[in-house]
Structure 1
């Protein structure tokens, strides 16, 4: 570019900047909020389950914001070093434990736990590892005596636990784990040992610096014979001074992509001796004489993983909700183009984001239904173990499929949001980079029960070869679109194929099954709201149905290649689907701000100036950049590396 052309370009930029009107963000968001066809407060109640909990959650957010031991210090939490993040997260837990003791309202205590988990991913993961994974291991696998002897110390955090499953060379394939627990009948002890480097337990939350005890999955060896994996209580650190015990070597995983307040760690065991009674023996047992008594149902060993996998859903909702609130508000504040349009009015922009908004509602409502069911199933551990075991295969399929599918979709949501914020997404101060850092068979021959019941009509479904779609109105009927997706889920199944040669298609089948399940469960929820005695929720059915319609059409639109490959749709039907998809995205765009406002995330929780509720984003963004450490001034390396160049 010549100097003359460069001068012309700079002059044009200067004129453009000088002619910019006063920021209109606050006015724009006020106008957007007037588009709501539903009551935002009532939607907030529905989204969080009921009015009482939604209001308690707002109270909990206020407690966090006002408490210096819970709320991140002045400045931005991304400016904290890794050691500072580790320490502050533990400070939050310490203060949270104090508040649990002082608060008398059980609903507020529950809300505070939820609010803190939303506010801090690291807090959520540290408490989840102890309060869920560690504790639930005693509930599911421990005898009554084992549970009773540990429960008080666990609840009071006198014993701080972690869950040691994953190894350096092995993930969730439990039969491949290498860590051993060898029974010594002479001393009535198990010897816990890591025989190889790949047997090192890795990525174990809280193992790096915090946990005093772990539940370790080990290959059980009795009288020289291997009996498969079982669960063992192993102490890692002295509870008085925090030092590792003899035979235990553990360390911190170091810098991570996200969640740097969580001390993920690695563990190696070198012939660590534990009492025989430290084997969790509700199901499988080893007697003092050295007799191994296997579990009547080995699949129960995997049940802890079900609850762990299901937690992906609320985690996804929290992440999606926060980053989409930021993206939608910024999209309605940011102006660009010859006519100074809101970028949210560009079709390429809102079509990218609106399915994500819809999916957040669907996942949260389905998550609540599944978790209620799983909590009821967990009660059977104490009352009816046979019935408990009967639910596990279906819940295993649901949890496995949803964990994979929702996390895949989550990566897509994060990428769409990143692109929607342009270059600002690369600033840690707008929370998107941090969110990115903080982030799968059908049987035959017998009647299928549970989430795959629709496969009982497998032959009938497969007999349909062409879609009956002839009118766009059919696409707004959730029952009709569910039938379409059911057909695709069934037609993608091939009973004659082998696993190793068709893993790509098997994974796709799992994805289709999981998406069909979420759509089916969401439809059940809408039916419940339609007949609800709560008039506030009943009035929300039209917008909830529209969100469900967009999600269903998104799923079909996203799988058009498979539908066409099997000859189910013709060209005219595809055009009809695409037209309906774009129209639905445009309709939801009109209410995107009321929809994200309904989630109720305060500004201090979002931690992103571009997502401010009032729309006055640019002063807040600039002020936080200006307050960054060492923002202005001579760098420490000037004299050593820059001055020799500039003064040469």
Structure 2
């Protein structure tokens, strides 16, 4: 928290917005715990008001939050209900006599838990609760609830909260638990953009009149669905947060592998071994694909936010499915990449002095926070399945209703390709367009196979059939996400024409490098799903050629590996890994770090009590 306080003070002196953003990036790269403290208040808490608050509520709260006069948290998950928001038990009961809400935790399982900043710091929370009015359940809504006195830090009456204690990582973030006992909050504590309660207790669903205009006629049913939109921006943050951590790990591992020579003198650098290239080079390509997609997803999301309620509601289904797919696919990939980095460095990565071990500890939450991946892939797959059915029913109509940047824009052409009945051939393994077409075709082939499998389920057996098909459901979601990321890196490489919402094309001098990265990314993803390629008609010799092309693509990216990681611009004071020193003198720095560690030299404190009685017991003669 001392880091955060100092950062807030320093930022107040900045007049240059770009300098402020770069300063925050550097601090977030330096500390995962710091980045999460910043994210919880300036992203999650602020976005609660921007998504669910009226204009008046936004004007009142957002400036105070960004000035850190109010420190917030985001109380969604409960002890018994994490990804299952429909099971939320916390209640907000409207008391018409006092014109306020009573917030309660009705059971043990309704305890809010794993809430960042709630353990020790947050003065307020945006709390998701079930609204009860005149005995009727009016659905889930957001309420601003004071947690602590801003001067003393003591909990407010009726609030019981504490820290969750020791964790696998990010121990600088005070994740907490919260229970409410008849906590009263005023009527305007309900974030009321999409629904409101009148003073007399009348519940009104739909857009608040304060935000309404003829162009924004939002139905009550559509407005109710927005309670679930709060996690979309958190999931989109994956496109920025994952590369921020993984690029550090890749810099450390690649620099180590470039400087290490194993075996007799004259042996090549470890980075020249195909096994190490196969571990690290595709990881570089995957991170560049994610970074290329970041601009598109955030530009689209901001356009939805700024375009008014109808724009938000219209884009929500595709963005929800895409954000869920990105969150699951990219965080699963990230966990694998970190382990590859650790293995590529041998025993030295097991040392906490070389950072990788701490990255792995800090990373663990990413596959679960913001929605469990096993649940999210189902949400993505359901959407893609529904959209594929629409595309197959009327391709022209479907194509006319989707934007080029929608994640499902590829479906009409891919469905047409699948209708030919034979797998698409690859005549040129360097063609990004051909490889991308295969990936899109495979995504549709998996969707169609999943649809046929579900259609054959016996009456009343759909739930069992859906659960039994989870492996295919996961594959559909991941393939759909990968084809979207592939489009982004092809645009970055100058191989596709961008739209106004896409990330920028790389400068001409860098485009050949991005072409190499894009090719490796596509080959790596296809190789990951080689079993599915065989199941859907690819010949064995074509899959074997895929392996040959993959090895060639790894070798081509290896030639650019050091410039690629150096281009991340990560100084030694951020990496904090002596073996990855920019000047190449890693071993000297590593040994010096070990020697300067506490208790490196001299007998340990326990020697006389525990060792000496074994090695030199009293009365034993010395030989």
Q: TM-score range by the shorter chain?
A: 0.7 to 0.9
Give the Å deviation of 1:345: 1.3
2:252 to 326, 330, 334: 326
Partner of 1:410: 334
- Verify the 8 A CA contact 2:89 2:106 in the aligned structure 1: yes
When structure 1 is superposed on structure 2, of 498-507 and 193-202 the one drifting more is 498-507
Deviations 1:598-620 (A, max 9, x none): 11110111110111111111111
Q: CA deviation at 1:300?
A: 1.7
Match of 1:301 in 2: 227
Once the two structures are TM-superposed, the CA of residue 514 in structure 1 deviates from its matched residue by 0.4
Runs (4+) of structure 1 exceeding 4 A deviation are: 528-532
The alpha carbon displacement at 1:457 in A equals: 4.6
Mapped partners of 1:536, 1:461: distance in 2 = 30
Which 10-residue stretch deviates more, 362-371 or 277-286? Answer: 362-371
| Contact 1:529–1:541 (8 Å) recurs in 2 | no
The equivalent residue for 2:271 is 344
Q: Distance in 1 between matches of 2:483 and 2:173?
A: 35
> Residues 631, 509 of structure 1: CA spacing in aligned structure 2 closer, same or farther, 3 A cutoff?
same
2:489 to 518, 522, 545: 522
CA distance in 2, matches of 1:331, 1:105: 39
Aligned: 1:541 with 2:541: no
Residue 270 (str. 1) matches residue 181 (str. 2): yes
Spell out the pairing of 1:538-617 with structure 2 (5 A cutoff): 538-567=508-537, 569-617=538-586
| Alignment correspondent of 1:419 | 343
Structure 1 residue 483 and structure 2 residue 483: aligned?
no
Structure 2 residue matching 1:262: 3-state secondary structure: coil
Q: CA deviation at 1:570?
A: 1.1
CA contact (8 A) 1:178 1:195 kept: yes
- CA-to-aligned-CA distance 1:33-62 (integer Å, 9 cap, x gap): xxxxxxxxxxxxxxxxxxxxxxxxxxxxxx
Q: Contact (CA 8 Å) 1:469, 1:573: kept in 2 or not?
A: no
How big is the shift at 1:526?
A: 3.0
Structure 2 spans left out of the alignment, 5+ residues: 207-219, 364-376, 392-397, 455-461, 618-623
- Tell me, in whole angstroms, the C-alpha distance in 1 between the residues paired with 2:121 and 2:35: 15
Q: Determine the C-alpha separation between the residues in 1 that align with 2:349 and 2:71.
A: 37
1:207 equivalent in structure 2: 118
- Is contact 1:530–1:541 with CA below 8 Å preserved after alignment? no
Correspondence for 2:409 among 453, 457, 478:
453
Aligned length: 552
Q: Is the 8 A contact 1:530 1:538 kept in 2?
A: no
1:47-196 matches, cutoff 5 A: 90-196=1-107
Alpha-carbon deviations, 1:78-121, whole Å to 9, x = none? xxxxxxxxxxxx11111111111112211101111111111111
- In 1, the alpha carbon distance for the partners of 2:415 and 2:423 equals 16
Matched, 1:465 2:425: no
Alpha-carbon distance, 1:372 to partner = 1.9
Structure 1 contact 461–490 (Cα < 8 Å) conserved:
no
* TM-score, normalised relative to structure 1: 0.82
Which consecutive unaligned segments of at least 5 residues does structure 1 have? 1-89
Tell me, what secondary structure is at the counterpart of 1:540?
helix
C-alpha displacement of 1:528: 8.0
Residues 253 and 266 in structure 1, CA contact (< 8 A), matched pair in contact too? yes
* Alignment correspondent of 2:148: 237
For residues 505 and 477 of structure 2, the distance between their equivalents in structure 1, rounded to whole angstroms, comes to 37
Name the SS for the 1:451 alignment partner.
coil
Structure 2: how far apart are the matches of 1:527 and 1:344? 28
Conserved 8 A contact 2:117-2:173: yes
1:285 aligns with 2:186: no
Mean Cα deviation higher: 233-242 or 146-155: 146-155
CA contact 2:100–2:185 (8 Å) conserved in 1 = yes
Secondary structure of 1:335's aligned partner:
coil
Deviation at 1:242, TM superposition (A): 0.3
The TM-score normalised by the length of structure 2 is 0.85
Flag the structure with more relative contact order, 1 or 2, with Cα contacts below 8 A and sequence separation at least 6. Answer: 1
Match of 2:12, SS? helix
1:178–1:583 CA distance, 2 compared to 1 (3 A)? same
